[in-house]
Amino acid sequence: MEEYDVITIGAGGAAYPAAFRLKRSGYSVLMIDKKGVMSGNCLAEGCVPSKAVIETVHTMTKMRHFENVYIDYGKIVDHKDEVQNIRYKQHDEELKEAGLTIIKGTARLIDENTVEVKTDTGSTRYRARSIIIASGSDTFVPKIPGSDLAWTSADLYKLNAKIRKLPRSIAIIGGGYIGMETASFMSLMGVKVTVIEMLERVFSNMDRSMVDKLLPLLPEMNIKTSSPVQSIEKHGDVYRVNFGQADDIKYVDVDAVLMAVGRVPVFPEGIEDLGIEHDRHGIKVNMAMQTNIKNIYATGDVNGITPLFHAAKRQSLVAANNIMANNVPTDYFDPLSVPFTVYTIPQMAYVGILPSQAEKMGIEYMEADYQIEKDSMAQINNEMYGEIRIFTDKRMKIIGGYVIGNDAGNVINEIALAVSKGLSLRDLAEMAHQHPMTFEGLDSAARKLY
Ligand code: ADP
């Protein structure tokens, strides 16, 4: 049986950063992935292609200050495909350069050191001293009558997507970030959008005070809350989505339906027999990324902690560092300092502890804000709305913050660094942020308390 120091199950963002680091340090590494290519769902159907579409629409929206520009959706999809192709090629070259191999197949855990890989030609077993489970997540499709009639985000964003023309109207089931990002770009492309959310508000897992600031800034869309979808029916070319409580069913007739009710972890076979602890949200790990079996790690979406590519990458490196320390934890993942950007138009980005969580934890906090209408770069971009808000504890240590509006996804990173490194508001106040950049709002906000 072939033996390796490390095997990764999956070759997405939770696997390959570890593989590269370990290989560079002289470890033998084998990656196994069903797709047979590096970079997982982020590039296949997630963050990269969705942003290729949304950013293009965002640019178009900025142009509309001068002229009513409209870009054909087919051209936007061509651009998305091109970006995916460029990145696949780039990753292939990086893989070759690193001398790493990916086997195209499905991995199954046999014991704590053995993995069986099923390929088109048969099954082979490999041994490894450490294993990283990085098998990611998949779109969740609930068992609602007619749910197979709906698109998922993969239909929109996969390579060579067939959807190259937008419908006149769409019902988006689910008011989480995937649903709301799609809703906002489609609305700006002229689609009549209805978002149908089961819970009492959209972005239900995010801080209410922040979300309440974003909602009035979003492009026109009809949002139905407390509205569980009961069924989807097809009548000729029209889809009817029935929603609401049993005694009060309403419906909307649309040209297309998108199911965006979340993602679920994908577990490799064998975790039950091996006794690897998990529940429906993911495989249980400590912050060194170890499962209850110390030489088996679970990184990225499969552990459900922070299902984002950049969190997966950091977790992957934590696992690599701990493998290099002979499975004795020396490096830890910090979920509180992972920034999260919602790519609606405008964007909303946040990190760390926000008011609702601070209140739950009994933390007394202070806040400093900056209104983006006053920001020079926002004025240059014609995006004069939103705000930066930074939260600190009583000793002025930054515990969290959010940014809504111009360049939010970039600006949040500095607040994340402050949270991660325990910086104080004074550190931000004393920094000479560049002008004209939305970042300068950070020291303006900080100086309100200094
Ligand atoms: P993450 O961001 O956590 O890395 P992704 O979903 O991007 O997650 O990547 C996970 C990858 O793992 C996908 O490419 C998927 O095809 C692959 N995968 C999932 N289950 C298995 C398995 N049992 N064997 C091999 N590859 C798998």
Query: How many other C-beta atoms can be found within 10 angstroms of the C-beta atom of residue 110?
Result: 16
Quote the strand ranges of 302-397, DSSP E: 340-342, 348-352, 366-371, 386-392
Distance between CA atoms of residues 99 and 28, nearest Å: 10
Q: Is 177 in the pocket of ligand 1 (CB under 6 A)?
A: no
Q: Which two tokens stand for residue 42?
A: 């982020």
Tell me: pLDDT of 62 over 90: yes
User: pLDDT of 381-414, one tens digit each?
Assistant: 999 999 999 999 999 999 999 999 999 999 999 9
pLDDT band at 450 (very low <50, low <70, confident <90, very high): confident
Q: For residue 302, which atom of ligand 1 is closest to its CA?
A: 3
Query: What letter represents residue 241's amino acid?
Result: V
Domains 2-138+264-335 and 147-261 share a fold: yes
Distance, C-alpha 17 to centroid of its chain: 17
8-state DSSP, 447: T
Q: Provide CATH code, domain 2-138+264-335.
A: 3.50.50.60
Distance 173 CA to ligand 1 centre (A): 25
According to CATH, the topology of domain 346-446 is Enolase-like; domain 1 (3.30.390)
- Specify whether the CB–CB gap between 136 and 300 falls below 8 A: yes
Query: What number is the average pLDDT over the span 31-43?
Result: 95
**Nearest residue to 380 via CA among 407, 402, 414:** 407
Q: Which two tokens stand for residue 107?
A: 């991995």
* Pocket residue to mutate for ligand 1, from 41, 123, 152, most atoms within 8 A of Cβ: 41
- The CA angle 277-283-286, to the nearest 5 degrees, is 85
Q: Is 33 in the pocket of ligand 1 (CB under 6 A)?
A: yes
Q: Is 386 in the pocket of ligand 1 (CB under 6 A)?
A: no
CATH 1.10.260.40 is right for the domain spanning 147-261? no
Q: Which two tokens stand for residue 320?
A: 């690599």
Tell me: pLDDT of 446 over 90: yes
Mean pLDDT of the chain: 97
User: pLDDT of 245-263, one tens digit each?
Assistant: 988 999 999 999 999 999 9
pLDDT at 379: 97
Q: Is 8 in the pocket of ligand 1 (CB under 6 A)?
A: no
pTM of the model: 0.96
pLDDT at 64: 97
pLDDT band at 243 (very low <50, low <70, confident <90, very high): very high
Quote the strand ranges of 112-218, DSSP E: 114-119, 122-133, 137-139, 169-173, 192-196
Q: Which helix (H) or strand (E) holds 43?
A: helix 40-45
Domain extent listing, the chain: 2-138+264-335, 147-261, 346-446
pLDDT at 320: 98
Distance 133 CA to ligand 1 centre (A): 9
Closest C-alpha to ligand 1, atom 8 = 136
Distance 99 CA to ligand 1 centre (A): 21
Q: Is 40 in the pocket of ligand 1 (CB under 6 A)?
A: yes
**Nearest residue to 258 via CA among 340, 161, 347, 337:** 161
**Nearest residue to 49 via CA among 174, 147, 185:** 185
Reduced to 3 states (helix: H, G, I; strand: E, B; else coil), residue 51 is helix
pLDDT at 246: 84
